[in-house]
With several copies, the nearest count.
Chain A
Amino acid sequence: MSLWQYANPVKFLNLSGKVLPTLSVLTVICLVTGMYWGYFLTPDDYKQGSTVKIIYIHVPSALIAINAWFMMLVAALIWLIRRHHVSALAAKAASHVGVVMTLIALITGAFWGQPMWGTWWAWDPRLTSFLILFLFYLGYIALWSAIEDPDTAADLTSVLCIVGSVFAVLSRYAVNFWNQGLHQGATLSLDKEENISDVFYFPLLFCIAGFVLLFLVLTLVGTRAEIRNRRARALVAREKG
């Protein structure tokens, strides 16, 4: 049997129902460990003070925000090529998680920026392209909700997702170009990765793992809800006639 059999909504419901409890428990363990370790067992940074601890939410959520879009892109392709309903609905569910993660990354970033850069917001390329990603999410979700027929909505949002991805990459390049033109060298973004010491690194890993699991759990739950919705619709249609 191929993997595709799980693209059947009913099979998917059964399988995901089985894995969800385990996944949820794992999520809680990772998040609690990472957060507790990060917030209570690490020292304050010598330069940034305690604000550095925003990193435990900021970085994982930013990661998820971007990768959720990739997942949606893959799901869109699967829907357009193989027309598996689960993938269309999973894309929809992922977009809801993705937009929230984008928002969290933006907000935590803003709260971090205030003490570090003295401003809530700067038109740094990285921040800017994130804002554009947020707009893409908004448009995508608005399109889903504006169309009644679920198959049509799935088709249209899939095309939007693909076209949007191309443009998102293009904007990323454009934004880099645009900002360098004005801020020669004096970019605001921190030198990441290298600066980070192991003390912060390991709890961060746990947090990232926790957020990845959280994303999976929320997306699964969302997909299941969408499937149930469609099921209810189908049943109502059969009943009423």
Chain B
Amino acid sequence: MTLTVSNLSVARGSRILLEGVEFSLTSGQALILRGPNGLGKTTLLRTLAGLQKIETGQVSVAPETTVYAGHADGIKSTLTVRENLQFWAKVFGTRDIGPALAAFDLAELIDRPGGMLSAGQKRRLGLARLMVTGRSIWMLDEPTVSLDTHAVDQFATMIRRHIGQGGCAVMATHIDLGLGADAQVLDLSQFRATDPAPQSSDEAFL
């Protein structure tokens, strides 16, 4: 259960953004990706999750062990918190949504429709979803956006528990996640494509 990335290039809209990205992650490790706006963090995470094409290089990971959580939380506004969470639990073949609810204080919101949640409550529900997937490699794009300090602590606790149980996580963020020394930090600026080459499919035209 590892994630190894070697010499990876990722591209968006026919421009290579990052080149030669290298890192590897094993059980019990967390990695924080940093870099200025527009560098390609979101693109990299989507590529790792298999939602975008790999330009060149390799990502070796078992797809059935990963789960992705992006900017949008995929919350249905007419389903209640419970229904939203239970749906994902069923899809991923897990049963119990109790721990996930508890981890983010969602119990009192359980019958509220998704559309009536505040920004932070939505995000908490989105994070709780991770726990019911039962997957071990988490890929998170700016997970703590809109969270208050208490919820950020809960998030850090969840991550610590997850890596304590042998899971791992890759997260992109601009702010402090409250993880302290539990997570390594990788600055992606070093991989910025120097001579921004066109995407491989465009290259054929040169």
Direct contact of A and B (CB under 8 A): yes
Q: Which residues of A contact B (CB under 8 A)?
A: 8-10, 85, 148-151, 227, 230-231, 233-235, 237-238, 240-241
B15 sits at the interface (CB 8 A):
yes
Q: B202's contact among A148, A234, A240, by CB below 8 Å, is which?
A: A234
Partner pick for B13 among A10, A148, A231, CB 8 A cutoff = A148
Query: Is A237 in contact with B205, judged by CB distance below 8 angstroms?
Result: no
Indicate if B196 sits at the interface (CB-CB under 8 A): yes
Residue of B nearest to A83 (CB): B201
Answer yes or no: B199 CB below 8 A from chain A CBs: yes
**Cβ of B195 < 8 Å from any Cβ of A?**
yes
B206 contacts chain A at the CB level, 8 A cutoff = yes
Q: Taking A230-B205, A237-B197 as given, write out 13 further A-B residue pairs in contact, using a Cβ cutoff of 8 Å, ordered by the A residue number.
A: A85-B204, A148-B13, A230-B202, A233-B198, A234-B14, A234-B198, A234-B202, A234-B205, A235-B198, A235-B206, A240-B196, A241-B193, A241-B195
Residues of B within 8 A of A151 (CB): 201
B205, A227: Cβ atoms closer than 8 Å? yes
Residues on the B chain within 8 Å of A237, using CB: 14-15, 196-199, 202
- Contact between A8 and B14, CB atoms less than 8 A apart: no
- For residue A79, give the distance in angstroms from its CB to the closest CB of chain B: 12
B interface vs A, CB < 8 Å? 13-15, 193, 195-199, 201-206
Q: Which residues of B contact A241 (CB under 8 A)?
A: 15, 193, 195-196
Q: Which residue of B is nearest A229, CB measured?
A: B205
A241 CA / B197 CA spacing, docked (Å): 8
What is the number of contacts between chain A and chain B, taking CB atoms within 8 Å?
Answer: 49
**Which one of B196, B201, B204 lies within 8 Å of A238 (CB-CB)?**
B196
Closest 8 CB pairs of A and B: A241-B196, A234-B202, A234-B198, A237-B198, A231-B205, A230-B205, A237-B15, A9-B205
B-side contacts of A238, CB under 8 Å? 195-198, 206
Q: How far is the CB of A64 from chain B (nearest CB, A)?
A: 28
With a cutoff of 8 Å between Cβ atoms, the chain A residues found around residue B203 in the complex are 234
Q: A150-B201, A241-B193, A241-B195 are in contact. Are A234 and B13 (CB under 8 A)?
A: no
Instruction: Please measure, in the bound complex, the distance between the C-alpha atom of A45 and the C-alpha atom of B199, giving whole angstroms.
Output: 60
A92 to chain B, nearest CB (A): 14
Asked if A85 and B14 make an inter-chain contact with CB atoms under 8 angstroms apart, the answer reads no
- Give B108's nearest chain A residue, CB to CB: A240
Bound together, the chains give a CA A8 to CA B206 distance in angstroms of 10
Q: How far is the CA of A231 from the CA of B146 in the complex (A)?
A: 34
Known: A148-B13, A234-B14, A241-B193. A8 touches B198 (CB 8 A): no
Whether the pair A8, B202 counts as a contact (CB closer than 8 A) is no
Q: Is the CB of A149 within 8 A of B13?
A: yes
What residue of chain B has the Cβ atom nearest to residue A13's Cβ?
B205
A231 with B193: CB separation less than 8 A:
no
Do residues B204 and A8 form an inter-chain contact, with CB atoms below 8 A?
Answer: yes
Task: Tell whether, in the assembled complex, residue B206 and residue A231 are in contact, meaning their CB atoms are under 8 Å apart.
Answer: yes
CB-CB nearest in chain A for B111: A240
Chain A's nearest CB lies how many Å from the CB of B16?
8
Residues in A whose Cβ lies below 8 Å from that of B14: 149-150, 233-234, 237
CA distance A146 to B174 in the complex (A): 34
* Residue among B13, B195, B203, B204 having the largest count of chain A Cβ atoms under 10 Å: B204
What's the least CB distance linking A240 to chain B, in Å? 7
